[in-house]
């Protein structure tokens, strides 16, 4: 497959598909990331959900934000536009620990949900240390669900509650199945609960729309489909990786990693 949008002279890229979804784009070495037009990147993300960019030159935090801003405005938090995902000595949020981060979508507690997530891997974890990021294409997950299960999901609404520790928190309610605001395709909005005995800032879920006797089975079935439903891709980070995801269609999680292993990602959220 070739792009209808031309690249500058002398720029060569190789493309390969990931399974069961996703795309890897590799340049011919230390290429300026900004040679890739935002319209081309947006088309790739729309088609493949997850796009890995390799062989492109690293960017400072400010230049990374500027590159992302070519797409549109960025979501701003109390820390600014770029979040440094790195272990902290005294973390107030589980994101800054080496522990597992369950499946979720970003911006759930923000005033506006970002359309795209953009990551830069400043330093990858050591080999076999963990720290991979897993992604679920919820459009694929929905396609794999049977008609009866889909009909049940269409009635479900979930209220999420978490105490604000760090840069997010609060309470909100959303349908389990909603329409993608760009494509109109059905997507699944779900964040796994964070038990109070495992996380300093626990996330609780309240299910509505189906009988109370079916709540536990719903959550158990969702867990099974997320982890064993054939709709997931797990990314092993390499130094210098850039990664773009469709935040409206994709859920993501982080595997735990060894405390002594480095792992530093930078993240921006594009509205």
pLDDT exceeds cutoff 80 at 196 = yes
Query: Is residue 139 within a helix (H) or strand (E), and if so which, with residue range?
Result: helix 138-144
In this structure, the number of other CB atoms found within 10 A of the CB of residue 125 comes to 20
Q: Is 1 helix (H, G, I), strand (E, B) or coil?
A: coil
Tokens of 155: 């009635």
Q: Where are the beta strands (DSSP E) in 92-149?
A: 101-104, 116-123, 133-137
Distance CA 4, CA 2 (A): 7
Looking up tokens 């909005």, which residue turns up? 189
Instruction: Return the H-helix or E-strand segment holding 52.
Output: strand 50-56
pLDDT for residue 2 is more than 90:
no
CATH architecture of residue range(s) 13-270: 4-Layer Sandwich (3.60)
- With beta carbons less than 8 A apart as the criterion, state whether 37 and 17 touch: no
Q: Is 118 helix (H, G, I), strand (E, B) or coil?
A: strand
pLDDT at residue 74 tops 90: yes
Check residue 1 and give its pLDDT.
Answer: 42
pLDDT exceeds cutoff 60 at 4: no
| CB atoms closer than 10 angstroms to residue 236 | 14
In 109-254, the DSSP E strands lie at 116-123, 133-137, 157-162, 170-175, 177-179, 186-188, 203-208, 232-235, 242-246, 250-254
Could you tell me the CA-to-CA distances from 190 to 92, 160, 221, 226 in Å, in that order? 23, 10, 13, 10
Q: In whole angstroms, give the CA distance from residue 148 to residue 193.
A: 24
Q: How confident is the model over 15-57, as pLDDT tens digits?
A: 999 999 999 999 977 899 999 999 999 999 999 999 999 999 9
3-class DSSP state of 11: coil
pLDDT at residue number 161: 92
Q: What percent of the chain has pLDDT over 90?
A: 77
Tens of pLDDT, residue by residue over 225-246, are 999 999 999 999 999 999 999 9
C-alpha separations of 241 from 58, 224, 265 in Å: 9, 30, 9
Task: Evaluate if residue 3 carries a pLDDT over 70.
Answer: no
Q: What angle do CA 206, 210, 216 make, to 5 degrees?
A: 60
Between CA 231 and CA 140 the distance in angstroms is 6
| Mean confidence (pLDDT) of the chain | 92
Look at residue 34 in the predicted model and tell me its pLDDT. Answer: 93
| CA 80, chain centre distance (Å) | 19
- Domain boundaries of the chain, sorted by first residue: 13-270
Residue 168 has pLDDT above 80, yes or no: no
pTM for this entry: 0.92
* Structure token pair of residue 95: 């994101």
pLDDT greater than 80 at residue 7: no
Q: How far is Cα 156 from Cα 174, in angstroms, rounded to an integer?
A: 9
């Amino acid at each position: 497959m070739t792009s209808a949008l031309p690249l500058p002279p002398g720029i060569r890229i190789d493309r390969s598909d990931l399974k069961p979804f996703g795309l890897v784009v590799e340049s011919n070495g230390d290429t300026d990331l900004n040679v890739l037009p935002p319209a081309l990147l947006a088309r790739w993300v729309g088609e493949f959900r997850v796009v890995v960019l390799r062989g492109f030159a690293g960017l400072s935090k400010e230049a990374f934000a500027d590159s992302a801003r070519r797409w549109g405005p960025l979501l701003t938090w109390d820390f600014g536009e770029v979040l440094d995902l790195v272990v902290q000595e005294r973390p107030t949020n589980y994101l800054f620990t080496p522990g597992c981060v369950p499946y979720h979508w970003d911006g759930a507690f923000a005033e506006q949900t970002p359309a795209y997530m953009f990551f830069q891997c400043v330093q990858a974890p050591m080999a076999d240390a963990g720290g991979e990021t897993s992604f679920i294409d919820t459009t694929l997950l929905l396609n794999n669900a049977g008609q009866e299960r889909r009909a049940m999901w269409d009635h479900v609404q979930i209220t999420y509650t978490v105490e604000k520790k760090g840069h997010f928190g609060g309470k909100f309610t959303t349908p389990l199945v909603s329409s993608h605001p760009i494509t109109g395709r059905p997507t699944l909005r779900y964040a796994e609960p964070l038990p109070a005995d495992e996380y300093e800032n626990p996330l609780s879920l309240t299910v509505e729309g189906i009988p109370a006797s079916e709540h536990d089975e719903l959550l158990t079935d969702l867990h099974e489909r997320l982890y064993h439903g054939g709709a997931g891709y797990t990314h092993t980070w390499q130094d210098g990786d850039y990664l773009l995801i469709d935040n409206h269609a994709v859920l993501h999680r982080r595997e735990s990693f060894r405390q002594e292993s480095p792992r530093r990602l930078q993240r921006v959220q594009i509205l």
